[in-house]
Each structure stands twice: as C-alpha cells, then as structure tokens.
Amino acid sequence: MLNYVWMSLIVIGLIVGVGKDISDEVRNTYRNGVPMDAVVCVEKTPTALRQTWEGELVISSEAFNRFYGITSAASEVRQPVEMTTLSSGKTTIAILVDDSSPAFWKEMAKNSSSKDKLLGTVNAVKFSEDKTTVQVSFLLEKISYVKIRAITKAALDYADTAVTISLGLIGVMALWLGVVKIAEEAGLLKMLTRLLRPITSRLFPDVPADHPAVAAMIMNIAANMLGLNNAATPLGLKAMEELNKLNPNLGTATNAMCTFLVINTAGLTLIPATAIAIRAAQGSAEPGIIIGTSIFGAGCATLAGLVSVKILERLPRYKKDLLVDGHNSESSHG
Amino acid sequence: MVELFRNIVNIISVAAIPLMFFIFVGWGIVRKVKVYEVFVEGAKDGFHVAIKIIPYLVAMLVAIGIFRASGAMDVVIAVLSPVSNLIGMPAETVPLAILRPLSGSGSMGLMTELMKVHGPDSFIGVLASTMYGSSETTFYVLAVYFGAVGIKNTRHALPAGIIADIFGMLGALFICRTFFGV
C-alpha cells in the first residue's frame, strides 16, 4: 500500500505539474511576447553618471486584469520602476515587486531570473510635454515552466528538511532514551506495565505482558495525551525498537507495530496546544473552545483506527506477510 | 467546567517532564542504580535512531513536496467536491482535510490562513482548528516510526491510519455542526 501511495504522490504530482505548464504555454498565461502599455511618473531623471530613470509605473486595475485575463487585481497597480538606457541604445525596465504588488506579478517574479524583480525591454517611449510622465510600451522577460521549477525546488528543499528534522531529534532522543534506561534498570517500567496489563494485553496480544515494549508504548501514549511532543517521539521510537526485538521477520511490520502506529497517527490529545495557541494569536474570544470537539474528533479517529487495524490484520493478504519460510511465526511468541 | 479541565491538564502538562525526571532518577537512586552510567548507556542510541530515520523521511517528504508544489491538490479537491458537498463540509476546509495527514507544517499554515480569513470563532475557524486537533500527520509518523526500525513492508498500518484520519475529519465535522452548526 505504501508503495502505491508513494508512487501516486510523485506520478500524479509530475503529471499535473507538466499538464499545468503545457496549458500555461498554450494559453500564454504570462503573456510572453505581448507588449504591455503603461504610464511612468518620473521621479528621477538620468544624470551624466547613470543613464537611469526612476519612477512609478501606473496601470489601472481594469487594464491589468484585461491584459492578463484575470479578475484578481482590485486596485490601481502602482510599482516602483527603473529604466536604464544602455550604450547600445536599448532601454531596459525593471519593476520592483514587493508586498503591495498584485498577486499575479508576485507569482511571476518568484519564477523570474531575479526572484524579486520583473525585467524587460522597452519598445517605445513617449514623453509628455513637461517630461514628468512618460508613456512606455515594454516586453517582460519570458516566464515559463513554473510548476516544473516549483517541483524541482520542492524536492530539493524537502530532502533538506527531512535531514534537519532527523538531526534535530538526536538531542531529545538521547535525553529520553537515557532517562528511560534508568527507569528500566530501577524496575519502574515493570510496575507501570503491570498496572495497565488489562488494557495492553488486549490491544497487543502478541506482546508478552511484562515486555519492556509495553512500558515504552504506555509512556508514549501518555506523553501524546499530554501533548508533550518532545517526549512522545523518542518514547515511541524506543517502543518500536523493543517491538522489533519480538519481530521474527525483520523489515516487515508486526501486528503490534501496526496497532501502536495507528494509535499514534490518530493523535488523541487532551489539549490540542498548537491549535489553541494559533486561535489565541488570531484573536479568538474562546481559544479553548475546541478542546472538547478535538477530543471527540481524535476519539473517533482512534476508535476507527483500532477497529480497522484489528480487522485488517486478519485479512489473508496482510497475514501472509507474517509467514517466515512458510511457517506461521505468530506461534513463536504467543 | 471546560476551564477547570483545561487548567488541570495544563498543570499536568507543564509539570510532567520535570516530575518524570525526578521520579525516574530518584527511584533509580533508591534502587541503587548507577544512574549516570546507565543514562549514558541509554542515551548512546539516540544518534543511531535519528540517523536511521533520514532515508525514510527524505523519501516521504520529497514525494509530498512534489505533490503539493505541482498543484495536484486542486485536482484532488475538485474530484472530492461532490462528496464534501454531500456531507456538508465547507469547501474551504476540504484542502485542510487532505493536507492534514500529509504535512504538519502545511496544514498548520492552512488552518491559520482559514482563521485569518473567516475569523477564529466563525464556524469555519472552529471547524478548521478542530480538524487540525483531531489527527496527527500520519505519513510523517509512519516514516519516522517505521524508519527507526528499518521496516519497509508496512502492511496494514497505512490503510488503517488513513481510515482513522477519515473518521477523525468526519468526527470533527459532525461535532462542530452539532454544537456550532450553521
């Protein structure tokens, strides 16, 4: 299943991305090669040292929307520009894109060569009588393959993120594994396990009731409930390592591992701290109002997950993966 | 009532980690465990576990990154819109439901955005934050937990996890419609 989902994410992503780029190309979404007309209010005229005009480009929202065939620009577009006359006589234009720019231009700038500017060449210039405004007609640089570029960037960025996340775990992992080891040596984990035996022996029938894996799982679930993410992941990984010691078929998940994982992915927590913090930051009158609803939602998820994991593990297609050399491995550890 | 519950859980959450350290180490000392040596012995594994996760997490996050960057989400939303209309899920929250199991930071951004646009106490704001709190980032948990012990054949964990996510989202929708319904 994971194989197919993984493959689908990539294949669907690539197909949709290429499709979008082709349709942009066909419809010329970014108006490559189409000259745009605008008025520039001149603020600085060229000096002997720099052949640069600085000013403000003005286009009405209707003209902007008509040009790109969109409806998103609501107000008049006003952008700082620089026009430079090169020694060859050609004039270039640079539109400085900032937060106030139309969303469409921001998107275009992101995919341009300079990332925060739209560059182009000026075809025609016509000054007004008093030289304070100038009518320009210009061609912006070609923008294409937007999605393909975005996909490439995302793939490289996310690979980097994965390593950052993993390395970031080293410290807390070490801390928790050390502390848990003390509890283990002191016999504290055994006591904890004995206390919750009635529940755990039902959830994980394949795991011996006093196995260290049970204690690690209990602590992971407790940490998750309290929203202690820093503690939950290391304890969960410790539990997985202990469960793997009972695994006769390394590389294949056991029933207990799948059950444990589903409890974790359902994410039952008593206080959804992140959501509450963001609600408070957004000025909610009652940030904590979602505690009850979240417990209900995550409770549904946990229950549905547990029921489906117990049904699915009985299906022949998942059961056959547990066989080692044709023998049923479940019997080897009760 | 809610306030009291919240305060109690908050106190437990704040005190839990120091208390756990105190009890574990204290108990170890009482039972004459060589606490320092044992701690270092256990902590040694931290590095290996973290390193082992890397290939699994790279594979997972890169696939999700490609999917999101391509704009394929819009296609999925379009395909799912008849279903979401049928169950009364606001169209604005459908992307969040899909993104929640895929990306933790992505769905957090989306939730914040929805609250910014519609207000945190609007129906959509409450629903979005409930949906966020009703599930975990399934694909991330899967990659990290199974990666740490080198599991490649994940068997029924993913289908069960996705079923749990679907029910989490449906549960969030149901409870929000019941109490804050439109």
Among B5, B24, B41, select the one facing A183 at the smallest CB separation: B24
The closest of A86, A146, A220 to B71, measured between CA atoms, is A146
Q: What is the mean pLDDT of residues A86-105?
A: 86
For residue A98, pLDDT beyond 90: no
The residue assigned the tokens 């923008």 is: A143
Per-residue pLDDT at A334: 38
pLDDT value at A327 more than 60: no
Task: Please answer yes or no on whether A177 and B43 come within 8 Å at the CB atom.
Answer: yes
What is the three-state SS of B122-160?
A: CHHHHHHHHHHHCCCCHHHHHHHHHHHCCCCECCCHHHH
Determine contact: B165 vs chain A, CB below 8 A. Answer: yes
Nearest to B175 among A14, A183, A293 (CB): A293
Do A91 and A83 form a contact (C-beta atoms < 8 A)?
A: yes
- Identify all chain A residues contacting B6, using CB atoms and an 8 Å cutoff: 271, 288, 291
pLDDT digits (tens, 9 = 90+) for B170-181: 999 999 999 887
Question: What end-to-end distance do the CA atoms of chain A give, in Å?
Answer: 27
Tell me the pLDDT tens digit for each residue of A37-71. 888 888 887 777 777 888 899 998 888 898 998 88
Q: Which residue has the higher pLDDT, B71 or A326?
A: B71
Backbone angles phi, psi at A84, to 5 degrees: -125, 130
Long-range Cβ contacts of A81-90 (<8 Å, 24+ apart) = A81/A40, A81/A54, A81/A55, A81/A56, A81/A57, A82/A52, A82/A53, A82/A54, A83/A40, A83/A52, A83/A53, A83/A54, A83/A55, A83/A122, A83/A136, A84/A50, A84/A51, A84/A52, A84/A53, A85/A46, A85/A51, A85/A52, A86/A51, A90/A121
Sorted by sequence, the CB contacts under 8 Å of residue A177 that are 6+ apart come out as A234, A238, B42, B43, B44, B45, B46, B49
Q: Which residue would you say has higher pLDDT here, B12 or A290? A: A290
Residue A134, both tokens: 């100038």
User: In a 10 Å sphere around its CB, with 0-12 CB exposed, 13-18 middle and 19+ buried, how is residue B42 labelled?
Assistant: buried
Lowest-confidence segment of A41-55, A269-283, A315-329 by average pLDDT: A315-329
Q: How close does chain B come to A247, measured CA to CA in Å?
A: 10
B172 reaches A (C-beta below 8 A)? yes
Average pLDDT over residues A157-169: 91
Q: Are strands A133-140 and A117-127 parallel, antiparallel or unpaired?
A: antiparallel
What dihedral angle (degrees, nearest 10) is formed by the CA atoms of A28, B72, B86, B90? -80
Rounded mean pLDDT of B154-161? 95
Report the chain B residue with the minimal C-alpha distance to residue A310: B160
Is the pLDDT reported for residue B19 higher than 90? no
Q: Which residues of B touch A293 (CB under 8 A)?
A: 126, 130, 133-134, 172, 175-176, 179
CB A43 within 8 A of CB A82: no
Per-window interface: B 66-105 vs A, CB < 8 A = 66-72, 75, 101
Residue partners of B51: CB distance under 8 A and separation at least 6: A166
Q: Cβ A171–B167 below 8 Å, yes or no? A: no
C-alpha torsion sign, points A294, A295, A297, A302: positive
Chain B residue numbers touching A274 (CB-CB < 8 A): 108, 132-133
**Chain A contact set for B70 (CB, 8 A):** 12-14, 16-17, 20, 147, 150-151
- Token pair of A298, please? 């995550």
A331 falls in which pLDDT band (50, 70, 90)?
A: very low
How many C-beta atoms lie closer than 10 Å to residue B15's C-beta? 12
pTM of the model: 0.83
Q: At residue A155, does pLDDT exceed 80?
A: yes
Q: Which residues of B touch A273 (CB under 8 A)?
A: 13
Half-sphere exposure of A108 (CA within 13 A, CB side): 23
Q: Which of B150, B154, B176 sits opposite A293 (nearest CB)?
A: B176
Residue B23 has pLDDT above 50, yes or no: yes
Interface test with B, best of A111, A265, A295 (most B CBs within 10 A): A265
A136, β-bridge pairs: A38, A125
pLDDT recorded at residue A329 = 47
- What average pLDDT does the segment B156-180 reach? 94
Q: Is B155 left (phi over 0), alpha (psi -120 to 50) or beta?
A: left
Picking from A90, A96, A89, the residue whose alpha carbon sits closest to that of residue A54 is A96
Cβ(A9)–Cβ(B64) below 8 Å: yes
Q: How many CB atoms lie within 10 A of CB A54?
A: 18
DSSP assignment string, A98-159: -TTS-HHHHHHHHTSSSSSEEEEEEEEEEE-TTSSEEEEEEEEPP---HHHHHHHHHHHHHH
Q: What is the mean pLDDT of residues A190-202?
A: 86
For position A87, what pLDDT does the model report?
80
Using alpha carbons, select from B89, B77, B80 the residue that is nearest to residue B181.
Answer: B89
Tell me the nearest-neighbour CA distance from A163 into chain B, angstroms: 6
Chain A contact present for B168, CB below 8 A: yes
What pLDDT is stored for residue A116 in this prediction? 84
Reading the block at residue A326, the tokens are 């044709």
Q: Is B121's pLDDT higher than 90?
A: yes
Do the bridges between strand A327-328 and strand A323-324 make them parallel or antiparallel, or are there none, so unpaired?
antiparallel
Please tell me which residue of chain B has the smallest CA distance to A176.
Answer: B43
Q: What is the pLDDT of residue A333?
A: 45
CA distance B161 to chain A (A): 5
| pLDDT cut 90: percent of chain A above it | 39
Assess B43–A contact: CB distance below 8 Å, yes or no: yes
Tell how far CA B8 is from the center of its chain.
23
pLDDT at B65 over 70: yes
Measured in angstroms, the CA of B180 and the nearest CA of chain A are apart by 10
Determine whether the interchain pair B136/A266 forms a contact, defined as Cβ–Cβ distance below 8 Å: yes
Handedness of CA A252, A256, A260, A265 (dihedral sign): positive
Q: Which residues of A touch B23 (CB under 8 A)?
A: 188
